[in-house]
Structure 1
Amino acid sequence: MKSCFLKRSLLTLALMALSLANPLAHAEGFITRLLNHPVPGGVAVVDLGEGTSAPDARYEGKPVLRIREDDQRWIAIVGIDLKTAPGRQQLLVNGQPLAFTVESRHYKEQHIKIKDSRKVDPLAEDLKRINREMAEQNSAYAVFSPDQPSNLLFDLPVDGPLSSPFGLRRFFNGKERNPHSGLDFAVGAGTPVKTPAAGKVLLTGNLFFNGNTVFIDHGQGLISMVCHLSEIDVKKGQVLPRGAVVGKVGQTGRATGPHLHWNVSLNGNRVDPSIFIGRYTP
């Protein structure tokens, strides 16, 4: 009898120790299983504990998305920049540090030939436009609206095969440029592009590299962007239901053929969209 009681007590202590060591021990619901891939360019789901209201949580000085997991504990959903080195990172939760670990991930290379050399080595006049457009885009990515996203398991923006994954080290005409910040879909020109979740249009326009582009705010720093469109069918400030058509696939900007580029940003960091559609592979 004493032996059984001792075994149960030791097991209880071991489980308590595990829960203290692992901030996800209480947060293994659907959202955690879907989104928790804490790698450079990935997403970390961090348990914030119980409470009647969401605690304040910040990463790199920016607020992060917080929701209840299975109507129980609060979790933070944190976007990790591609340049982040593996190792310990931390949130500030109500001003107190809470650590999580970023694991390693290898990304492949992609070599692309571009006929328009200005899309590889822009002229001085191009750089003025590029810098102006980059500031506009960064402002859109930095938006943090209070509403929670309508869904975190995203719909596909188009029906079609993936042609280029997230995170590729890209070489244009032999010169390395920024890594691939989203997913490419190999679909024909004119294919309708739909928003993967409800949201508000933050920015539209024809950009130097992206061509015809639409930014959509899904809530709490979760932003998606689609580009290279042949046409844009929405306006800035427009509120969209899930699945609304925002434009059509094209070949505008720096593109070698018709396709859709879709990226997802979380607390200002571009992250792998495949995580949000249940297609992540290490």
Structure 2
Amino acid sequence: MLMVSPWGFAQLPQQSNVPGGVVIIPLAVQSATKPVVTFQSKPVMVLAGDGQWQAIVGVPLDLKPGTHKLVVSHGAEKSTALFDIQEKQYPTQHITIKDKRKVNPNQYDMQRINSETARIDAALQHWTEKDAISFNFIWPVKGRVSGLFGRRRVFNGEPRKPHSGMDIAAAKGSLIQAPAEGIVRGTGDYFFNGNTVFIDHGQGLITVFCHLDRVDVSDGQSVQQGDIIGTVGATGRVTGPHLHLGVSLNDERVEPLLFFPPQSALKRN
């Protein structure tokens, strides 16, 4: 049984130069003024560290291996910063869903899904400018890891999008903690995600909590690390009670394990 515990320690995200990973890139900008960095036209987190500016980039799950570039703007000057991505093959996971509409939505369901997509996108694309970001994340809940990030999922024999987070199975009603300080940028009951909370930690870093039984926070509310944001449930597309934990960086879903303290019992595929 794989378990996660609610204790953490201060650290930057771990680097992983693969699709769905995170890369930390030193920037050749010698100025006290922070540069503006974009990747694929999306704003990228920039922090001061080791005596220089660094870009912390979320790598898209569908990014092809090879050399890629950031666009770095500093005043009227523009330059590029290069980074390499290695290939990674994620395993396939077959899942049986009893509610067939959660695999093949009807026309009414699709109208709801399309309406919800705009709200979800708005939460994930929110940008709050901050000079410092707390990466001292704690696990939001203790439980068994039942689904890993990036797995290519097949529902009832039909291929769907890769898993955008990790699943932690826990008893219905288990308390969920905020992993770090932030601002709630949206809550709602969504067709696939069920009851959901988005927490904005600054500079495009958003944590996502899905399938909740109860939501205890509201949009725009400030939360501190350890605050209760809701309880574990089985809402949306699920096979049982669990927390879907997602991390989004520059509007790309990335491996949550890169942001949380290591656990000896946790194994990444």
TM-score with structure 2 length normalisation? 0.89
Q: Give the match for residue 122 of structure 2.
A: 139
Q: Give the match for residue 207 of structure 2.
A: 224
Indicate which of 15, 31, 40 corresponds to 1:51: 31
Q: Give the match for residue 66 of structure 1.
A: 46
- The one-letter code matched in structure 1 to 2:56 is I
Offset of residue 102 of structure 1: 0.8
Which blocks of at least 5 consecutive residues in structure 1 are unaligned? 1-29
Question: Highest CA radius of gyration, 1 or 2?
Answer: 1
Indicate which of 51, 57, 60 corresponds to 1:81: 60
- Say if 2:246 and 2:253, in contact at 8 Å, map to a contact too: yes
- The one-letter code matched in structure 1 to 2:22 is V
- The one-letter code matched in structure 2 to 1:76 is A
Offset of residue 116 of structure 1: 0.5
**Mapped partners of 2:49, 2:136: distance in 1:** 14
Give a deviation string over 1:197-243, Cα, whole Å, max 9, x none. 11101110100001100011000000011010000000001011111
Q: Give the match for residue 156 of structure 1.
A: 139
- Say if 1:148 and 1:218, in contact at 8 Å, map to a contact too: no
Q: Give the match for residue 241 of structure 2.
A: 258
**Mapped partners of 1:255, 1:99: distance in 2:** 40
Indicate which of 174, 179, 191 corresponds to 1:196: 179
Indicate which of 233, 237, 250 corresponds to 2:216: 233
**Mapped partners of 1:140, 1:255: distance in 2:** 22
**Mapped partners of 1:149, 1:115: distance in 2:** 45
- Say if 1:34 and 1:278, in contact at 8 Å, map to a contact too: no
- Say if 1:195 and 1:242, in contact at 8 Å, map to a contact too: yes
Structure 1 segment 17-56 matched on structure 2, within 5 A:
34-49=13-28, 50-56=30-36
**Mapped partners of 1:89, 1:55: distance in 2:** 19
**Mapped partners of 2:182, 2:122: distance in 1:** 17
- Say if 2:213 and 2:232, in contact at 8 Å, map to a contact too: yes
- The one-letter code matched in structure 1 to 2:20 is G
- Say if 1:150 and 1:197, in contact at 8 Å, map to a contact too: no
**Mapped partners of 2:10, 2:31: distance in 1:** 19
Offset of residue 182 of structure 1: 0.3
**Mapped partners of 1:148, 1:276: distance in 2:** 18
**Mapped partners of 1:55, 1:263: distance in 2:** 28
- Aligned-pair RMSD on alpha carbons? 1.8
**Mapped partners of 2:115, 2:213: distance in 1:** 22
- Say if 1:149 and 1:218, in contact at 8 Å, map to a contact too: no
- The one-letter code matched in structure 2 to 1:228 is H
Distance 1:32 1:216, change over 3 A: closer
With CA pairs under 8 Å and 6+ residues apart, which has the higher RCO, 1 or 2?
A: 2
Superposition misfits of 4+ residues, deviation over 3 angstroms: 30-34, 278-282
- Say if 1:210 and 1:228, in contact at 8 Å, map to a contact too: yes
Q: Give the match for residue 164 of structure 2.
A: 181
**Mapped partners of 1:153, 1:238: distance in 2:** 20
Query: Comparing 94-103 with 48-57, which one deviates more in the overlay?
Result: 48-57
Query: Comparing 32-41 with 161-170, which one deviates more in the overlay?
Result: 32-41
- The one-letter code matched in structure 2 to 1:85 is K
Query: Comparing 146-155 with 52-61, which one deviates more in the overlay?
Result: 146-155
How many pairs were matched up? 252
| Structure 2 residue 146 is matched with structure 1 residue 166 | no
Q: Give the match for residue 6 of structure 2.
A: none
- Say if 2:211 and 2:242, in contact at 8 Å, map to a contact too: yes
**Higher strand proportion (structure 1 or 2):** 2
Indicate which of 206, 218, 227 corresponds to 2:189: 206
Offset of residue 55 of structure 1: 1.3
Distance 1:31 1:243, change over 3 A: closer
